[in-house]
Structure 1
Amino acid sequence: MINAMSRTQFLRLAALSATVLVLPSAVFADGDEITRDMILNDPETPTGGNPNGELTVVDFFDYNCPYCKAAAKSLEKVVKADGNIRLVYKDWPILHPTSIIGARLALAAKYQRKYLLVHHALMEIPGYGIEQAKMIEAARGTGIDAARLESDMTTHADDIARLVKRNLDIAESIGFQGTPGFLVGAFKVNQALNEQGFMRVVADARARQKG
């Protein structure tokens, strides 16, 4: 996790197990209603995995977060191997000025049905404080229509801004302290997990759903 916390604070937080989060039917952030359905089923939010999966995992991330990138690789492997998980991508650009550039590139790619291509390309860029030019290069390297991408970033700028704002409000309402953050069924996880960690919390979430 990267935010204003110290390394000691991070290690203390990383030692905590997943906590149960009972998602409210509705909460309010800055006067706007945030519903359970908005968190899990916002039609503007990109998704992956099995669209009909019995378990939903929501990933809150920042393209400048090395911990997000490490955790994302583990999560994607678990989702692919499991075959019955729906994955929701919540772009949460909070760490660096270029984080919003990455979010805008990926979310604009959605209008070409290329969100996942650009998302994965941006997540493959190592490090923190990534230059804007490097992000643009990575997006173009996916073979996306670059001219349309630029056009969609302008045409859909307000829609993208509203979606990012909703993600920010949702993360705040849930109580995440920094990136990465995950909702795995009823569980809130505010740390980077490896494959074994995700498999364990997925199993716990399924057991809770069945119970």
Structure 2
Amino acid sequence: MTLRRVARLFALGLVAVLASAPSRAEPGATSREMILADPAAPVGGAKDGDVTIVAYLDYNCGFCKRSAPALEKLVKTDGKIRLVYKDWPILSETSIVGAKLALAAKYQGKYEDAHKALMGLVGAKVPAEKMTAALISAGVDMTRLKADGAAHNDEITALLKRNDAQARGMLFQGTPVYLVGPLKVAAALDYAGFRDAVAQARERQATR
């Protein structure tokens, strides 16, 4: 997918998106600050990156899984991208299971390991047992994860509600959706597509 096609079909100014978003959760849940810098949301890549990608994803989404390796590669090779993960489990009951497992893994510093393991699973309705097995293979301490999941259940549930309020407030139709700097991309991009979207985001930010 070319940059021009991405821009023509899917690009939308982030400020414009947020301006039209009705709030459907606690005050501030759909604010620009909470979308870009929710303190509970897992973050990867460069801490002070010049472009932030906010990724709304579901672990049962085939399009999300198709794009995951390309996004991971870009974040590593570019070196100046901040990646905010927004678990948005909307496709099945096990999507919620997967999101809660990944977010519980965050408390032992294993969110990205869990995320990669879950995105690597094939299928649209992955059983919870298969998700658990994938995390064990990725080196996640399941005893601790279970304890952290229980201890932080309210925080995890609140985060998922904020993510859902943000996505629905911005009228997202499904996963994946990537907010790339000032752009919205509702498509499963390959490496070149992500790279071009980031380049366009930088160009737009430079002209502000």
TM-score over 0.5 for the pair = yes
Question: Which residue of 2 is the match for residue 21 of structure 1?
Answer: 14
> Deviation at 1:55?
0.5
2:87 and 2:163 in contact (8 A); partners too: yes
- Runs of 4 or more off by more than 6 Å in structure 1? none
Query: CA separation in 1, counterparts of 2:195 and 2:52?
Result: 13
Question: Which residue of 1 is the match for residue 195 of structure 2?
Answer: 199
Q: How does 1:1-211 map to 2 (within 5 A)?
A: 16-22=9-15, 24=18, 27-30=22-25, 32-33=27-28, 34-211=30-207
Query: CA separation in 2, counterparts of 1:198 and 1:145?
Result: 32
> Deviation at 1:16?
2.2
Deviations 1:107-130 (A, max 9, x none): 000110111111111111011100
Query: CA separation in 1, counterparts of 2:47 and 2:54?
Result: 13
Q: Please, which moves more after superposition, 116-125 or 72-81?
A: 72-81
1:58 and 1:89 in contact (8 A); partners too: yes
Query: CA separation in 2, counterparts of 1:150 and 1:31?
Result: 27
Q: Percent identity?
A: 49
Query: CA separation in 2, counterparts of 1:187 and 1:106?
Result: 26
Question: Which residue of 2 is the match for residue 8 of structure 1?
Answer: none
> Deviation at 1:30?
4.1
Which is helix-richer, 1 or 2? Answer: 2
Which is strand-richer, 1 or 2? Answer: 1
Cα RMSD of the aligned pairs, angstroms, is 1.7
Query: CA separation in 2, counterparts of 1:98 and 1:131?
Result: 6
> Deviation at 1:146?
1.2
Q: Please, which moves more after superposition, 179-188 or 70-79?
A: 70-79
> Deviation at 1:20?
2.6
Query: CA separation in 1, counterparts of 2:158 and 2:148?
Result: 15
Deviations 1:135-170 (A, max 9, x none): 011111122221111111111111100000000001
2:10 and 2:186 in contact (8 A); partners too: no
> Deviation at 1:187?
0.4
Give the AA of the match of 1:88: V
1:18 and 1:188 in contact (8 A); partners too: yes
Q: Please, which moves more after superposition, 63-72 or 25-34?
A: 25-34
1:78 and 1:195 in contact (8 A); partners too: yes
Structure 2: gaps spanning 5 or more residues: 1-5
Structure 1: gaps spanning 5 or more residues: 1-12
Query: CA separation in 1, counterparts of 2:53 and 2:26?
Result: 26
> Deviation at 1:40?
0.5
Query: CA separation in 1, counterparts of 2:202 and 2:130?
Result: 39
TM-score, normalised relative to structure 1: 0.89
Aligned length: 198
> Deviation at 1:21?
2.9
1:27 and 1:35 in contact (8 A); partners too: no
